[in-house]
Structure 1
Amino acid sequence: MKRAICPGSFDPLHLGHCAVIRRAARLFDEVVVAVSTNPHKSHRFTEQERIAMVREVFADEPGVVVEPLASGLIADYAAQREAVALVKGLRNGADYDYELPMATMNRSLTGVETVFLPGEPSLLHVSSSLVMEVASLGGDVAEMVPPRVLHAILTR
């Protein structure tokens, strides 16, 4: 079985994330969406809320598994889960510049490869932080997030 890990904080999950995860699910037998909590970030949703949202969005996708990402190195987690790849979506060159050194380090640590998937052109402007900023200022983010996530944002 070819397993990939799609790591991220998903705070909140947006349609750009969903597109990358679904495309990865077509490439691999199983995609583990590993929901992380970065201690250096202020999260809007708890880890359990984020996991629940991602699970609900992908409930009908049998090849997608959602679980928390324990602290530690993603390369070690990938090795523990016997994943052949990490999957990262890229919106632009800045994303590539940020992700490439990590991809190289992860490969040097455990041999896990990183697969970069270019973002959907219609969603290249979407990021979790911009979604939350726009929503907090009263903007409409319905076209950027799944309905379940929109509900969570609006009731927050």
Structure 2
Amino acid sequence: MRTCLFPGTFDPITLGHTDVIDRALDLFDRMVIGIGVNSNKTPMFALEERMAWIREIYKDDPRVEVATYSGLTVDFCKKLDARFILRGIRSIGDFEYEKAIADMNRTVSTGIETIFLTTVPQYSSIASTLVRDIYRYGGDVSSFLPAAVLEGIKHIKQ
């Protein structure tokens, strides 16, 4: 079974994320969306909300799971028996950053490959950080987020 981990904070999951996930599903038998817990970051949206949104988005696809983890991503891959890490690339800057991480991961743990998928052009500017800023200041984020997230944030609008 080809298992892939798509790690991130998904704060919140965006249409850019779902674009990458949806296209990667043809490559893998099992996709685990791993929400990394980082004590140095304070997310805007609660972990439970982010997990619920992802579960709602992929409720009809048994290949997709959501889990949380802390520590090294390669260690979590081993726990999942995942041989692949999926990363989305929006720009050349993303590629350089992600390639450095992939090289480090390969050095730390041979046998785990990083797969890069570029986003489609209409989503290449979407970043969770920017979406949070627009949301925080009352802007319209409907062009950037899946329906499940839009529905969820209606109830927690600041």
Q: Which TM-score band applies after superposition, normalised by the shorter structure?
A: over 0.9
Q: Distance in 2 between matches of 1:29 and 1:57?
A: 18
After superposition, the C-alpha distances for 1:84-109 in whole angstroms (9 at most, x for unaligned) are 11000000011111111110111111
- Could you tell me which amino acid in structure 2 is paired with residue 3 of structure 1? T
Question: Cα offset for 1:146?
Answer: 0.9
**Superposed counterparts of 1:4-153, under 5 Å:** 4-69=4-69, 71-111=70-110, 112-153=112-153
Question: Cα offset for 1:5?
Answer: 0.3
After superposition, the C-alpha distances for 1:26-45 in whole angstroms (9 at most, x for unaligned) are 10011110011221112011
> SS of the counterpart of 1:26?
coil
Output the TM-score relative to the length of structure 2: 0.93
> SS of the counterpart of 1:150?
helix
Aligned residues: 155
Question: Cα offset for 1:143?
Answer: 1.6
> SS of the counterpart of 2:45?
coil
Q: Distance in 2 between matches of 1:119 and 1:16?
A: 6
- Could you tell me which amino acid in structure 1 is paired with residue 2 of structure 2? K
Question: Cα offset for 1:152?
Answer: 2.5
CA contact (8 A) 1:36 1:47 kept: no
After superposition, the C-alpha distances for 1:96-129 in whole angstroms (9 at most, x for unaligned) are 1111111011111122110000011101111111
CA contact (8 A) 1:79 1:110 kept: no
> SS of the counterpart of 2:86?
strand
Output the TM-score relative to the length of structure 1: 0.94
Q: Distance in 2 between matches of 1:145 and 1:95?
A: 20
Question: Cα offset for 1:130?
Answer: 0.8
RMSD over aligned Cα atoms: 1.1
